[in-house]
Amino acid sequence: MQTDIIFLLDIAGVIAFAISGVLTAIRKRMDLFGILIIAFVTAIGGGTLRDLLIAEPVSWLHNTIYIKVIIITTVLAILFRNKLSYLGRTLFFFDTIGISIFTLIGLEKALNVGFPPLVCIATGTMTACFGGVIRDILANKIPIIFHKDIYATACILGGVMYFILHLFPLSNGLVFTIACLIIISVRSLAVYYNWQLPTIYKRTKR
């Protein structure tokens, strides 16, 4: 995809995850500094780890627009928190949008550097999930990808479909969009129908 489109999508993912972080921090009744920190690590945690692993410049260290976007998003989310009637549903919505965008952003960045497909899928999944992992750890929660729901699995499936779709005469933009929608759909259906991965423990009703 063109660099400017990737950048805009990256910003969209940062906004989505920053809001997700703000909502989590508010539910944990953190102070203003705590809310900002949680928003920040949720928005750029996975991308930072990705850039370090693939030996690329860490985006937010070289472009302060990311920091500004996170701060502005955090302030607006706090100001309009009372408008978010259903925090659980809103958190899920922004979290799902965030992982779909970040999965494909991370995948394409690794692909552009020259990594093989399996590594690209792993990189995309890490980009999407590790900001949320850091968020949950700081919020004193077991990271959601480790104990329930189809989360990282949806990212992996979207990454696999990205490469399958490229076998057909489709534009990269269309492939990106379809793969994002697959991640969103799988994640949403998994929550709606309570799909879960196999476990050695007995399931308990929610």
pLDDT digits 0-9 by tens, 169-203: 999 889 999 999 999 999 999 888 888 777 777 65
73 closest CA partner among 39, 46, 101: 39
Flag whether pLDDT at 164 surpasses 90.
yes
pLDDT digits 0-9 by tens, 96-152: 888 999 999 999 999 999 999 999 999 999 999 999 999 999 999 888 788 666 889
User: What average pLDDT does the chain have?
Assistant: 89
pLDDT at 198: 76
Q: Are 127 and 105 in contact (CB under 8 A)?
A: yes
Q: What angle do CA 51, 54, 59 make, to 5 degrees?
A: 20
pLDDT at 90: 74
Confidence of residue 88 (pLDDT cuts 50, 70, 90): low
Give the three-class secondary structure for 28. coil
pLDDT digits 0-9 by tens, 1-16: 456 777 888 898 899 8
Percent pLDDT > 90 in the chain is 65
pLDDT at 89: 75
